[in-house]
Amino acid sequence: MTRHTRRVMELGVGLALALAIVLTVSADWHQRTAAQVRTDTLRLHILANSDTLDDQLLKLQVRDAVLAAIPEAVTRADTPQQAAAALQTALPALQNAADNALHRAHSAQTARLRLERFAFAARDYGGFALPGGEYTALRIELGAARGRNWFCVLYPALCVSGSTAAYPTADENALVFGRFEVSTASFSGGIRSYICCKRTWSRTWKSNVTCPLHEHCAARNAPNTCGQFLL
């Protein structure tokens, strides 16, 4: 075996090991952060009676009435526990808001409100995405509750128009609001891996630095800073 061949094989093994470490670290981070997101999130879930146009429009009318009745004690709470407690206290007022919306629409349907733990599939809302799993949620079931659903987040107040609400940690914001790409490059000092931020949030193991792969990131509409997470 020539020295060149041995060097190529060593480099290949090094790249495979680096990739394995990157994937392991990324999977562990995602699992831990997703669990924290589920703990720190209070969701709203409305199920329409059916998929008819009238029932879907009625669902939106109830949604608007309930959102207008959500107290600031929920949306401005300091913790998800405080938000859930405030929402539990507000349930009679929210039930009344839903009932009034149905009455104004001359509907014979009933609205059933529950604040419990429910299983949700992973969902991308366009501006943010939530991992799957169990969440505390205010569920509103209209009539037979067999129609298309409407989902959103009450805490942090992502349902509130113009809200700048965010999660308490950078990792949670990175997972919910970010889109990331792992990139690997070889330098004279060895192989390094970087995560390029495609949106506002950047996960970093060290302080933000000028990304050595900034041209690579820029080509993918990422800013010129990214987090170095493996040396």
Note whether residue 204 is domain-resident. yes
pTM of the model: 0.67
Do 95 and 185 reside in the same domain of the chain?
A: no
Q: What share of the chain in percent tops pLDDT 70? A: 64
- pLDDT tens digits, one per residue of 41-85: 999 999 999 999 999 999 999 999 999 999 999 988 999 999 999
Note whether residue 145 is domain-resident. yes
- Count: domains in the chain: 2
pLDDT of residue 58: 96
- pLDDT tens digits, one per residue of 15-44: 555 444 444 444 677 788 899 999 999 999
Note whether residue 183 is domain-resident. yes
Do 123 and 26 reside in the same domain of the chain?
A: no
Angle between helical axes of 53-69 and 80-104 (0-180°, round to 10): 130
Tokens encoding 68: 């207008």
- CA gap 102, 65 in Å, rounded: 10
Question: Which of 114, 140, 166 represents a domain boundary (last residue)?
Answer: 166
- 200: exposed, middle or buried (C-beta count within 10 Å: 0-12, 13-18, 19+)? exposed
Do 103 and 31 reside in the same domain of the chain?
A: no
Tokens 């509130």, located at residue: 160
Domain limits for position 205? 17-36+173-230
- 162: exposed, middle or buried (C-beta count within 10 Å: 0-12, 13-18, 19+)? exposed
Do 194 and 150 reside in the same domain of the chain?
A: no
Q: Does 220 score more than 70 pLDDT?
A: no
Do 56 and 125 reside in the same domain of the chain?
A: yes
Tokens encoding 30: 């995602």
In 1-15, which positions are buried (b, 16+ CB within 10 angstroms) versus exposed (e)?
eeeeeeeeeeeeeee
